[in-house]
Amino acid sequence: MKITIGSDHGAVELKDSVKKVLAEFDVEINDVGTFGNDAVDYPDIAEKVCAEVASGNSERGIVLCGTGIGISIAANKIKGIRCALCNDVFSAKMSREHNNANVLAMGGRVLGIGVAGEIVRAWMNTDFSNDERHNRRIAKITALENN
């Protein structure tokens, strides 16, 4: 699986920690930055990561900013993206099982690396349930996107 990851300046350290957790999995990691502490705009990072996911170049994406809020809002403006902002393991599991989230958002100023690592492991290890009711609801999300 190819996974694209990106962060603004508010989560550069978290991005490095998340990449170490991702290395536990059989994944190719595509890091689109940012790579320093200079301020960048989180919508630009969301666009870079989500373009990879929406085009099918990457199966999944991870977006990070100070809170995870701005970058998740931006990600969810992009067609085909179901981005879940998760600050706990239960939400991470549900975002895969029920919502088939293809992008995970987290906040570098919110989470410690221990919790963030467990969130990533849960998100990577959980499959979409693929049952009728969840597929129906996701189809309704897609319909909203197409209106």
Q: Which residues are catalytic?
A: 65, 98
Of the pair 13, 24, the CB lying nearest ligand RB5 is at 13
Check residue 6 for interaction with ligand RB5 (CB under 6 A). no
> How far, in Å, CA of 42 to CA of 38, rounded?
12
10 scored as a contact of ligand RB5 (CB under 6 A): yes
Q: Considering Cα of 98, then 102, then 111, then 116, what sign does the dihedral take? A: positive
Q: By CB under 6 A, is residue 8 in contact with ligand RB5?
A: yes
Residues 46-85 that bind ligand RB5 (CB under 6 A): 65-67, 69-70
What's the token pair of residue 141? 């999300």
Residue closer to ligand RB5, measured from CB, 66 or 117:
66
> What are the residues facing 5 on neighbouring strands?
31, 62
Query: Which value, in Å, is the radius of gyration of the alpha carbons in the chain?
Result: 14
Looking at residue 130, the DSSP 8-state letter turns out to be -
Question: In this complex, which beta carbon is closest to ligand RB5, that of residue 27 or of residue 113?
Answer: 113
Interaction site with ligand RB5 (CB under 6 A): 8, 10, 42, 65-67, 69-70
